[in-house]
Amino acid sequence: MPSLRSLRRRLSSEEGSLLIEVLVTASILLTLSAGVVLALQTAHAQTGLQRAKALATDVAQNRLDALRTKAYNNLRGFTESVSVPEGGITFTVVSTATPVAQTDAPSGCSNQRARDYMSLKTTVTWPKMGARKPVVLDTLIAAPVGAGGGLLVNVTGAAGQAVPGIPLLLSSGGGSATTDASGCARWDTVSAGTGYGLTGSAAGYVKPDGDPNIAISGIAIVPEDTAQQSIAYDRGGSVSVRFRQRLFGSSTATDITDPTMIPDTVTLSNAAQTVNKDVVGATGGLGTAGLFYPNPTSPYSLYADNCTAAQPTTPAPPAVTIVGGSTANATLELPSLNVKVSNGAQALPTDIAVRIRTTCGTIITNRTVSTANGTLTNPGMPWGSGYQICVSSASAGKRARLVGSGMDNKTYAAPGGTGVQTLTLATNSSTNGCTF
């Protein structure tokens, strides 16, 4: 009996410890179960990502294979972004094709044509890809024989120097290129065909004809051959002209201070080129025109108006040398148009309107007549022959004209001097109506 009571007391004292052991054991089982579930979930997610990546790889490979089937020259500049559903996932596929020159391709203006390559690349992304990188596949394909021809463009300046940094664009998908240090731009493996156009421009540069824009049409690209084009293009220079004239009764020239009396255009001409430009910024007898092509070996002759018939022979026009990026200074005296308007014995009306057509056909209407002596208040005009003149007064109802062979304007003599042409106002009629 004592032994039984002792055993009961010992068992009663251990009831709390047993409960704790049961709780600890349960906790361990729960923790292990959660770990197993998490491991299963992780494995499932990894399996899903691996599946998505495998599908993305298949999609990328299929698109790359599709690009390979395209005609080589149709791949130039190709870019595309499409959505592709596959295996319950919508993938975004970006495909590009980029020309790549061979590493040993000729440079500069060598007429050897390089066969280039095309870099094909597909990039595939999908939703829920997390931190995974996109699937990217790329490859190179070589230009097939007969895929096209080449084009070399050589840009030189006025002194024969190479002109680098000029951007040029070849039409019909030919692409763009910029002249290198040797002044050359090249295109390799351009699709064969006729009617290509080449355009380009650079701020401050002009061709010999003064045009800032390069525009060449009708370029033919022949398979397995190299076409060549040469372009003269250089930094232009301007000219600042001081315009002068001799007023009535004066033997010396003075500046044309009224800017409205300064000619609208001037021409620079030499053995190679004749270029006319608008006069701008006229003030205080000065006007600026440009840009003109540099002429380091053949100075230009400077004269007013816009045709070669206005180029003086005697006295010789001033010579001008244009330097690229600079402004040349010149003084140009305009011959005086020796015309005098008369109203017979009567005083001149105050509203005489003047119309003048120069040798080049330029119409001048901004001149007035002095009522004191009938001469032009601003007689300076471009040099030339065959001037046509018509004067009229609305208040007096009279008009006078000089047409037919016209008159010359080839000396510096002021109106009233030798060779003056007098126009006498008469009643308006069909015989003295203005014809221009």
Query: What pLDDT is stored for residue 361 in this prediction?
Result: 96
Rounded to a whole number of angstroms, the CA Rg of the chain reads: 44
Q: Which residues of 175-209 are buried (b: 16+ CB within 10 A; e: fewer)?
A: eebebbeebbbbbbbbbbbeebebebbbeebbbbe
pLDDT tens by residue, 257-293:
999 999 999 999 999 999 999 999 878 889 999 999 9
The rounded distance, in Å, linking the Cα atoms of 384 and 386 is 7
Q: 7-17: string of b/e by CB count within 10 Å (b at 16+)?
A: eeeeeeeeeee
Mean pLDDT of the chain: 88
Question: Domain span at residue 89?
Answer: 71-142
State residue 397's pLDDT score.
Answer: 92
Does 237 score more than 70 pLDDT? yes
Mean pLDDT lowest for which of 108-117, 199-208, 380-389?
A: 108-117
Confidence (pLDDT) at 40: 45
Question: Residue 106 above 80 pLDDT?
Answer: no
Let me know whether 325 and 368 are in one domain: no
- Cβ 314 vs Cβ 409: under 8 Å: no
Of 390, 410, 394, nearest in space to 336 by CA: 410
- Please give the average per-residue pLDDT across 85-92, as a whole number: 94
Same domain for 415 and 428: yes
Indicate whether 1 pLDDT > 70.
Answer: no
CA atoms within 13 A on the CB side of 399: 16
* Mean local confidence (pLDDT), 183-192: 87
- Which range has highest mean pLDDT (43-47, 248-252, 310-314, 411-415)? 310-314
Per the structure block, which two tokens stand in for 336? 């005086």
Q: Are residues 134 and 175 in the same domain?
A: no
For residues 352-375, give the mean pLDDT.
Answer: 96
In a domain, 24, yes or no: no
Say whether both 348 and 425 belong to one domain. Answer: yes
Rounded CA separation 24/386 (Å):
123
**pLDDT tens, residue by residue, 152-175:** 999 999 999 999 999 999 998 888
Residue 219 falls within a domain, yes or no? yes
- Asked whether residue 135 is assigned to any structural domain, the reply reads yes
Provide the number of structural domains found in the chain.
Answer: 4
Instruction: Residue 118: give its domain's CATH number.
Output: 2.20.130
Q: Give percent of the chain above pLDDT 90.
A: 64
Same domain for 189 and 278, yes or no, is no
Q: What is the pLDDT of residue 43?
A: 47
CB 229 within 8 A of CB 198: yes
Query: CA of 258: how far to CAs of 65, 126, 366, 406, in Å?
Result: 74, 74, 11, 27
Portion of the chain with pLDDT greater than 70, in percent: 88
Residue 382, classified by CB atoms within 10 Å of its CB into exposed (0-12), middle (13-18) or buried (19+), is buried
Boundary residue ending a domain (202, 234, 266): 234
Name the more confident of 114 and 312: 312
Which region, left, alpha or beta, applies to residue 24 given φ > 0 means left and ψ of -120 to 50 means alpha? Answer: alpha
Closest CA to 230 of 208, 203, 202, 204: 208
- Exposed e or buried b per residue across 25-53, where buried means at least 16 C-beta atoms within 10 angstroms of its C-beta: eeeeeeeeeeeeeeeeeeeeeeeeeeebb
29-44 pLDDT, tens digit per residue, is: 666 665 555 544 544 4
Residues 6+ apart with CB under 8 A from 354: 364, 365, 367, 368, 369, 376, 389, 390, 391
- Whether the model clears a pTM of 0.85, i.e. scores above it, the answer is no
- Region for 172 from its dihedrals, namely left if φ exceeds 0, alpha if ψ lies in -120 to 50, beta otherwise: left
Residue 8 located in a structural domain: no
**pLDDT of res. 8:** 58
pLDDT digits (tens, 9 = 90+) for 326-345: 999 999 999 999 999 999 99
Crossing angle for the helix pair 15-68 and 2-13, nearest 10 degrees?
A: 40
Please tell me the predicted confidence (pLDDT) of residue 74.
80
- Residue 26 — very low, low, confident or very high, per pLDDT cuts 50/70/90? low
Alpha-carbon separation of residue 174 from 108, 148, 199, 332 (angstroms): 18, 11, 12, 48
pLDDT attached to residue 108: 73
The helix (run of H) or strand (run of E) holding residue 402 is strand 398-409
Higher pLDDT, 112 or 412: 412
Q: Indicate the SS3 state at residue 36.
A: helix
pLDDT of residue 19: 64
Say what the pLDDT of residue 13 is.
Answer: 57
Q: Kindly state whether residues 278 and 313 are assigned to the same domain.
A: yes
Q: Where are the beta strands (DSSP E) in 286-382?
A: 286-292, 300-304, 319-320, 327-333, 339-342, 352-357, 363-364
* Last residue of one domain, picked from the residues 212, 234, 256: 234
Alpha carbon distances (Å) from 112 to 44, 150, 185, 226, 335: 59, 9, 13, 8, 58
